A and B are shown apart, each in its own frame.
Chain A
Amino acid sequence: MPSLTRWYIKSALIYLAAALLLAVILALPPSANLPLFIRYLNPAYFHLFLVGWVTQMIFGVIYWMFPIITRAQPRGNAHLGWASYGLLNVGLLLRVVGEPLVGARPEAGFGWLLAVSALLQWLAAVIFVILAWPRVKEKYRGG
């Protein structure tokens, strides 16, 4: 299993645990008197689950298992893979921090955090598809 896949899958497991922990907190009754910003973490919960866990797990397995391109460069440009991993995770974490900040204090001017988060995650997906697209093919038979 390549190093990048190990990072993807271990990160995915951490996000799954974080998403489920957040789900418990979000399910607490109003009498728990949670801070205001917690209320704005519902979308972050969904995205920790679907981007952090599901999509990241799929990315890791694709990078590992899809047919290689050539023996010399089996999985394409590894730098692109690491760039996609970094952008996806920084973008997602920025969302988890930024969304409750913007929700609880819309006047504070943190809106740019969400725009940057959106751009980083979008770039991560574009780079991953560029990397993986040539590997959607028949098994490599040399040559």
Chain B
Amino acid sequence: MPRLSQWFIRAAFIYLLSGFTVGALLLAHKGLPLHPALWSWLPAHIEFLLFGWVVQVTMGMAFWILPRYWQQPRRPNPGYATIAFVLLNLGIWLVVAGTTFRAGPWFLPAGRAAEGAAVAFFALHAWRRIVSREGT
């Protein structure tokens, strides 16, 4: 497993734990009320699990197992995938700042833009690796 996939997947595991922790508190709060302010963490719960866990673990796996080239670099343009990793994680925290922490009206759109750009950079990296065994 390449180093960048390890970064994606370890980060995804941390978001899985964070998302499940917030989710467990929210679910328990539905049954046995804990604190009314907990509901402000619902957007963070969704963000951590959809983008932090599902999208990030998928990107990490894809960077690892999509077909590689016969010659170096085996995975073309790895810099694009690295940028995707940075932008995705930046985007997640901008969205959480804009929703759960109400940091300001521009945090949410900036976060979504960063997440969208992350997907675009990852697609730029992966596109040419989506091929048959014959390379077509």
Residues of A with Cβ closer than 8 Å to B? Answer: 50, 54-55, 58, 61-62, 65-67, 95, 98-99, 102, 110-115, 117-119, 121-122, 125-126, 129, 132-133, 136-139
Interface SS of chain A: helix
| Nearest CB of A to B38, in Å | 12
Question: A118–B24 contact, CB under 8 A?
Answer: yes
Question: A118–B16 contact, CB under 8 A?
Answer: no
Residue in contact with A110 in the complex, picked from B31, B54, B61, CB distance below 8 Å: B31
| Interface residues in B1-55 (C-beta closer than 8 Å to A) | 1, 6, 9-10, 13, 16-17, 20-21, 23-28, 30-32, 49-50, 53-54
Residue in contact with A114 in the complex, picked from B1, B20, B31, CB distance below 8 Å: B31
Which range contains the number of B residues in contact with the other chain? 20 to 34
Residues of B with Cβ closer than 8 Å to A? Answer: 1, 6, 9-10, 13, 16-17, 20-21, 23-28, 30-32, 49-50, 53-54, 57, 61, 65
Question: B54–A54 contact, CB under 8 A?
Answer: yes
Which residues of A lie under 8 Å from residue B61 when comparing CB positions?
A: 61
Question: A111–B54 contact, CB under 8 A?
Answer: no
Docked complex Cα distance between A119 and B53 (Å): 19
Which residues of A lie under 8 Å from residue B30 when comparing CB positions?
A: 99, 102, 111, 114
Question: B31–A102 contact, CB under 8 A?
Answer: yes
| Nearest CB of B to A65, in Å | 8
